């Protein structure tokens, strides 16, 4: 199916959902000056604003927490992964949600380059969608070879590499705010005794990123939104992919797949943990 056909089919389905009064609001994408942006459709006359193309990069699961009504949403693989994690953590309920899944072959930046997280994505097809538009695509094998370059450095060089990355951080909190799974109303990163925004010390920046990393261990679905949101181009994707790798190697667990799966860090198994 071509992009334009998917777009037309998407509009048709959403129009029907509104006419049958099955949703109160629909979250999708609309055209903007530079590419696309998320939009909220409230009635059937607005449905023609919806678009779908390979530049639809945002993870729309972020906006689900804002609504307390029946919501429709268009979801790529990573969006759906985030939705599954939010359902697991009792932040949204599946009954109030209508998911339109679209198989995804990777998304592109405005200058037509595929995002690096998409190259290694193993979560391309919808799993829990109510309806799927477009043909399913082939899943790639899971590989973490892209981390080899950093992992093989001597430890001192690795430290230098990450210090060079983190010292660029301006503590703007964009990566936290864009993350669909960083939803806590009261976040310890807002505590000014932990992170001093007047000083902006290097140690604060390291603390910021490492604590976010450990919080998202076993939850991060590698949508790459943090890396895209970062105004200083810190290689956050490389940090969070390492988290996913360790979770996979230690616990054989991949977040965003099964609604019944349990995050390995909130449970334990005395037998298999012996080697830890």
Interface ranges with another protein (CB under 8 A): 150-151, 155-163, 167, 188, 194, 201-204, 206-207, 210-211, 213-214, 217, 239, 242-243, 246-247, 250-251, 264-266, 268, 270, 273, 276
* CB 262, min distance to another protein, A: 12
* CB 220, min distance to another protein, A: 12
| Per-residue burial over 95-129, b = 16 or more CB atoms within 10 Å of its CB, e = otherwise | eebbbbbbbbeebbeeeeeebebbebbebbbbbbb
Q: For another protein, which is the closer residue by CB, 58 or 120?
A: 120
Phi, psi of 165 (to 5 degrees): -70, -50
Q: For another protein, which is the closer residue by CB, 76 or 241?
A: 241
Cα torsion angle, 115, 121, 126, 132, sign: positive
Q: For another protein, which is the closer residue by CB, 26 or 240?
A: 240
* CB 250, min distance to another protein, A: 7
* CB 190, min distance to another protein, A: 13
Q: For another protein, which is the closer residue by CB, 135 or 154?
A: 154
Token pair of 49 as six digits: 């604003």
């Amino acid at each position: 199916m071509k992009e334009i056909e998917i777009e037309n089919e998407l509009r048709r389905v959403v129009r029907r959902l509104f006419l049958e009064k099955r949703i109160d609001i629909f979250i999708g994408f609309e055209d903007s000056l530079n590419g696309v942006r998320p939009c909220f459709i409230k009635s059937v006359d607005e449905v023609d604003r919806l678009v779908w193309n390979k530049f639809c990069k945002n993870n729309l699961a972020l906006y689900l927490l804002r609504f307390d009504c029946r919501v429709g949403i268009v979801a790529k693989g990573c969006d759906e992964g985030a939705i599954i994690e939010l359902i697991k953590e009792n932040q949204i309920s599946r009954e109030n949600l209508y998911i339109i899944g679209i198989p995804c072959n990777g998304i592109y930046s405005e200058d037509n380059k595929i995002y690096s997280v998409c190259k290694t994505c193993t979560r391309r097809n919808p799993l829990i969608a109510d309806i799927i538009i477009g043909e399913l695509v082939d899943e790639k094998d899971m590989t973490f070879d892209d981390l080899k370059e950093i992992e093989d450095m001597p430890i001192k060089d690795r430290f230098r590499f990450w210090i060079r990355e983190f010292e660029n951080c301006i503590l703007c909190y964009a990566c936290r705010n864009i993350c669909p799974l960083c939803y806590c109303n009261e976040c310890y990163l807002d505590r000014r005794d932990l992170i001093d925004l007047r000083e902006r010390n290097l140690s604060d920046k390291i603390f910021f990123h490492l604590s976010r990393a450990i919080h998202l261990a076993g939850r991060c679905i590698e949508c790459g939104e943090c890396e895209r949101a970062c105004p200083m181009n810190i290689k956050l994707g490389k940090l969070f992919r390492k988290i996913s790798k360790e979770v996979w190697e230690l616990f054989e667990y991949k977040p965003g797949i099964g609604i019944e799966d349990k995050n390995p860090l909130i449970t334990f198994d005395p037998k298999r943990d012996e080697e830890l």
